[in-house]
A and B are shown apart, each in its own frame.
Chain A
């Protein structure tokens, strides 16, 4: 069966520091992968999606970037974090019928 992992689970970073969040999927090949952010009191915001290795589409202009170095690995990065980057970051993969399966999430607090 398919499994999706995210790490770290929680992260506290100072403003201006870099960021790297990792997501890996097991048990499926060539999945569509997604990064979402969920800020307090707000809905899920799609940040990036990827349909294959090296193929990244950005939905929202910001200081975040994403990369997909391997088929089942999706990385979210930033060179300099802002206070507004705080939130709950979720990685997801898509099954054939467009259902999305989410990872456990990373709680990021920028101070």
Chain B
């Protein structure tokens, strides 16, 4: 069955540095991958979607890469700020017309001033 892993439960970095989060998947060839941000006690918020034919996508200080050979996506936040502290989830489609997603457990990012 499909498996999705975010292999860092937590990541601590200094303000101004680039945060890099990893999402790996197995038994799977997804057409796209999504990244969400979740703050404590809140629902996840959609950030970016990258399709299988896109190597890289950017949105302001965010950059996502998608390597279908390695079955991996990297999520970068450049010039990180304390306000970027949150849990970041990657998600993949399960296929079918229902639009169901499978989510990773998330990586909790803490940016220290």
Contacts and interface: CB of A to CB of B under 8 A. Distances in A.
A97 B49 contact: yes
B98 A32 contact: yes
21 contacts: A32-B99, A34-B100, A43-B103, A43-B105, A44-B89, A49-B98, A49-B100, A51-B98, A92-B43, A94-B99, A98-B93, A99-B34, A99-B46, A100-B44, A100-B46, A100-B101, A101-B46, A102-B43, A104-B43, A105-B41, A105-B42
Nearest to A6: B43
Nearest to A45: B103
State the 6 A-B residue pairs at the shortest beta-carbon distance, nearest first. A102-B43, A43-B105, A44-B103, A94-B99, A98-B99, A99-B46
Interface residues of B, number: 22
Interface of A: 32, 34, 42-44, 46, 49, 51, 57, 59, 88, 90, 92, 94, 97-105, 107
A107 B45 CA distance: 18
